[in-house]
Structure 1
Amino acid sequence: MTDIHDDTLVLTDELGNEITAKIILTFESEEFNKSYVVYQLDDEDEEEYHAASFNPEDGDEGTLGQIETDEEWDLIEEVLESFLEEDEEEQE
Structure 2
Amino acid sequence: MANNQQVPDNDDERQITLVDEQGNEELYEILFTFDSEDFGKSYVLLYPAGAAEDEDVDIQAFSFKSSDKGDPAEGDLFPIESDEEWDMVEEVLNTFLADDDHRD
* TM-score, reference length from structure 1: 0.80
Q: Which has the higher contact order (CA 8 A, sep 6+)?
A: 1
| Alignment partners' CA distance in 2, 1:11 and 1:65 | 12
Please name the residue that 2:66 is paired with: 56
1:24 aligns with 2:24: no
SS of residue paired to 1:9: strand
Provide Cα deviations, 1:58-78, integer angstroms capped at 9, x if missing partner. 644232101021110011000
Q: Which moved more, 1:55-64 or 1:38-47?
A: 38-47
Please name the residue that 2:82 is paired with: 69
Please name the residue that 1:81 is paired with: 94
- Report the identity percentage: 41
| Alignment partners' CA distance in 2, 1:22 and 1:16 | 19
Provide Cα deviations, 1:11-59, integer angstroms capped at 9, x if missing partner. 2233443210122111011111111111122488624211111102364
SS of residue paired to 1:72: helix
SS of residue paired to 1:78: helix
Q: Contact 1:7/1:22 (CA < 8 Å) preserved in 2?
A: yes
* TM-score, reference length from structure 2: 0.72
RMSD: 2.3
| Alignment partners' CA distance in 2, 1:68 and 1:26 | 18
Structure with higher helix content: 1
SS of residue paired to 1:48: coil
